[in-house]
Amino acid sequence: MRIALAVLRRDRRSQVATVLVALGVMIAVSLVLWLLAAPNGLQARADRTAWRDGASQGDKGTISVAASQDSYDGKLIERFDVARTEQGAVPVAAGIARFPEAGEVLLSPALADLVRTTPPEKLGNRFPGRQIAELGPEALKFPGELVAIVGHEKVENGWPAADLRGGAGSYRDDYHGMLYLLTRVGLVVLVVPCLVLVASAARLTAAKRERRLAALRLAGASPRQVVVMTAVETAIGAVVGSVLGVVLARPFSHLTAKVPWEGGTWYPGDFVPEPAVVAAVAVLAPLLVIGAAITGLRRVVNQPLAAEAKRGVRSWRLLTIAGALGVFFLGVMYAQQAGGDGQFTVVLLGLGAVALALVLAGPVLTAWVGRFFVGRWRRPSTLLAGRRLAGDPVAAFRGSAGVVIAVFTGSMALTMLPGLESQVPYRDSTWLENAIVAEQVTHDVTPLRLALSGPIVTMLDGTINSGGSGPYVVVGECADIAKVLTGLQCRPGPAVYAPGPLQGNEFESSGSKDPVTARLPASYETRPFEGSGRVSAVIDRGLLPSLTGEVSMVGVPTTPENRDAVHTALIGTLPGVRLVDGEQRGLFGDTLMADLQRATIIGLSIAAVLGGIGAAVSAAGSVIDRRRTFGALIAAGTPIRVLAHALRREVMLPVFAVTIAACGAGIVVGLGLLTLARGLVGHGEMPITPWVIAPVGVGVAVALVAALACGPVLRGISPRDYAAE
C-alpha cells in the first residue's frame, strides 16, 4: 500500500489516470442513478392519480363517475363527472378538498386560471356550478395539469365506484408502458459507454503499470501484494468518483424534472431514487472498477516476463453476436406472451448481450482491417496503423467501443421512431375535420338543441349480426349524417350505404343505454359507400322505423368561429360523453411523438458524448503507453506528421468497419423492439428510412474529433523519452 500511495504522489501520469477514473465513475454513477430514478417518478405520478383509476374500475359503490378527455386551445383537459347514488360520506384522495355535490366544481389551479381568463361560452360553461376549491398537487399528475371534477344530481353513463380515495397506482399504464421500456433500454445502452469510458481512463497508464508490477513481481513481490497495490491505486479514484456521482445525482434529478412527459413536467421530488438503490450503486460501482483492474493482472501475476506480450483474438468472438441476437428475440417472443413487471427482463438481457457482443467482436474486425492495410499499404502512416491494429487489436479497438455502442443505439432508435410514429393514435378519417361527435350518449338531447342555434345530427350506432359480431354501422337520416361522416354521398329514398351487400339483417345497438334490436326489410337498395374509418355502413332510419327517436351519438358540424362554443355546449349539456374531436386526438398524438423524439435525442446525445470522450481518452492513453516506441521512432527520424496520420488512422479505420456492423445490429434490434411496441399499442407499420445509416457518419465524425486528441500528447514526446525509459 505504501508503494501504491508513493506512486500516486510522485507519478504525474498516474495522477491524471486517477482523476480520469474518478470522472468516469462519477458520470457513470450519476447517469445510472438518473435512469433508475425514472420508475420512481412514474410511480409518484401513478400514486397521485390512483383516484382516477379507481373511479373507472366498475366497483360497486356509492357514487357514479364518468371519466372523459376534453381539450381547449391546444391543451388536454381531464374531466370527471360525479354524482351520488347513495347517501353517506365519500372518502377522497389527498389533494381533493371534498366530494363535490350537485352544482359544485373542483378545478386544478391551472384550469381555474384559464377559466377566469376565458369567455364562459368558450370554456367556463363546460363546468357548470360553483367552484368550491382547487385541486392540490397531491391529486395532479404534473404541475399545470388541467383537471376538473364536476358534481351532478345524476351521471347518465358513469361507472359505479366506492369513492375517490385511490391508493397505489401502476406506472406501467402510462403510454402503454412505453416510458417503462424506454428507461430500461436507456439504462442498458448508456451504461456500456460509461463502462468503456471508465475502462479507457483506467487503462490510461496500463502499460507502464504492468511493467512496474512485473518488475516488482520478479523482484519478489507476492501475488497478493501486487493485487493490493493495484486495488489501492484504482480504489482512490473509483471511490471519489462514486461519492461525487451520488452528490451530483440530486441536482441532476431537479434538472430532469424540467423535461416534459405526457404533456407536463415533474414535481421536484419525483426523480429521486430509493436510498437503498443509491447505496447499492455507490458501493457496486467502485467494486466493479476495482474488480476489472484486478482481473487484468492475470498475466502480471502468473507470467511477469510476458506482461508486455500482445494479446491475440480469435474468430469465435463473432459468434457471440448471433447468440446475443438469439437471446434478444427469444426475449421479444416471451414478452409478447408474458405480463407483469418481469415482462421485459429477458428482452433487456438480450439487448445488453448484443451490446457486449459488439464490444467482444470488435477486436476481431479490427485485426482483419489491420491485416488488410498491412498487405496493401501505400504510405508509411498506413503501414504503421495497420501493424498496430493487427498486432494489438484489443488495445486498438478499446477506444472505439463507446462510439460503436452509440452507433448501435442511434440506428436502433432511428429504426423504431418511424414505426412508432405510425402507431401513434392520431385522428382517424371516420368523421369530417369540422365535425365534433359525441359517443355513448344516454342523455336527453333537448337541452343541446336549445343551446345550439344550428342543426345537430342524431345517430344510433351498432352492428349487423350474422351469427356473431358483424360490421360497425350507424343508423340515421343520410342527409344529416353526410354533414359529419367522411365519404358519404346521399340520394333520395331510404337505402343502405355500404361497400357491398350486408351479411345479415339483424341490427343491434351498442352505444345506447338499453340495447335495442331491429330487423332490416327482406329487400332494400344498397348504394356505394367507401368509408375510410371505423364506420362500415350507414342505414337510413326509414328502413328501421322501430328505432325512431333512439339516439346514442350526436354530431355537430362546426366552423372555426363557433367550434369552442359548440364544444362547450356538448360538454355542458351531455356531461360524461366521449367526444371524438380531431384536435383532441391530434394533441395526444403530437404529445406522444414529441416525448419519444425528446427521449431519443437526449439518449443519443449522451451516448455520443460518452463515446467521444472515451475514444479521446483511449487515443491519448495509447500515445502515453507507447511513449518509448514513439520516442524511438522520432529519434530514428520519423516525422511527427507521419506519426499523427498513423494515430488518426488507428482510430478511424476500426471505427468505420465496426460501426457498419453495429448499424446492422441496431436495425435488427430496433425492428424487434418495434414488434414488441406494436404489441403494446396494438397497431402500426414498421417502415425503415435511409436515416438509419446516419449514425455511421456521425460515429466516424465523433471518432475523428476524438483522434485529434492524440496531437497535443504526441507533440509532447521527444527522443529524451526513449532515453528516460
137 or 306, which is more confident: 137
Distances (CA, A) of 626 to 7, 370, 402, 706: 19, 18, 22, 18
Residue 411 has pLDDT above 70, yes or no: yes
Residues 702-713, mean pLDDT to the nearest whole number: 76
Place of cell 482523476: 19
- To the nearest whole number, what is the mean pLDDT of the chain? 81
Residues 252-278, mean pLDDT to the nearest whole number: 84
Sign of CA dihedral 412, 413, 415, 416: positive
Residue 199 has pLDDT above 80, yes or no: no
Q: Which of 105-109, 172-176, 233-237, 335-339 has the lowest mean pLDDT?
A: 172-176
Residues 187-211, mean pLDDT to the nearest whole number: 70
Q: How many CB atoms lie within 10 A of CB 103?
A: 13
Residue 476 has pLDDT above 90, yes or no: yes
Residues 49-70, mean pLDDT to the nearest whole number: 73
- Candidate ranges 45-59, 96-110, 143-157; pick with highest mean pLDDT: 96-110
- Between CA 427 and CA 41 the distance in angstroms is 30
688 or 161, which is more confident: 161
SS3 516: coil
pLDDT of residue 556: 92
Residues 427-433, mean pLDDT to the nearest whole number: 76
Percent of all residues in the chain with a pLDDT value above 90, rounded to a whole number: 15
Host H or E run for residue 131: strand 130-134
Asked if residue 151 lies in contact with residue 103, where contact means CB atoms within 8 angstroms, the answer is: yes
One-letter-per-residue 3-state SS of 392-414: CHHHHHHCCHHHHHHHHHHHHHH
pLDDT of residue 483: 92
Residue 308 has pLDDT above 60, yes or no: no
Residue 591 has pLDDT above 70, yes or no: yes
Asked if residue 257 lies in contact with residue 137, where contact means CB atoms within 8 angstroms, the answer is: no
SS3 166: coil
Distances (CA, A) of 618 to 158, 249, 270, 547, 703: 64, 26, 37, 78, 11
pLDDT of residue 259: 86
Sign of CA dihedral 380, 382, 383, 385: positive
Closest by CA to 586, choosing from 159, 75, 82, is 75
Angle (CA) 540 544 546, round 5°: 140
Percent of all residues in the chain with a pLDDT value above 70, rounded to a whole number: 86
**Single-letter amino acid, residue 166:** G
Q: Give the model confidence (pLDDT) of 615-634 as tens digits.
A: 777 777 777 777 778 888 88
Residues 642-670, mean pLDDT to the nearest whole number: 85
Q: How confident is the model at residue 540 (pLDDT cuts 50, 70, 90)?
A: very high
Name beta bridge partners: 133: 106
Phi, psi of 594 (to 5 degrees): -60, -40
Eight-class DSSP state of 705: H
With a CB cutoff of 8 Å and minimum separation 6, the contacts of 545 are: none
Furthest-apart CA pair in the chain: how many Å?
107
**Single-letter amino acid, residue 227:** V
Residue 129 has pLDDT above 90, yes or no: no
- Between CA 687 and CA 349 the distance in angstroms is 26
Q: Do β-strands 147-152 and 537-540 pair in parallel, antiparallel, or remain unpaired?
A: unpaired
Nine-digit cell at 665? 445490429
Asked if residue 719 lies in contact with residue 634, where contact means CB atoms within 8 angstroms, the answer is: yes
142 or 629, which is more confident: 142
pLDDT of residue 342: 63
Residue 699 has pLDDT above 50, yes or no: yes
Nine-digit cell at 161? 365506484
Place of cell 500515445: 623
pLDDT of residue 684: 47
318 or 55, which is more confident: 318
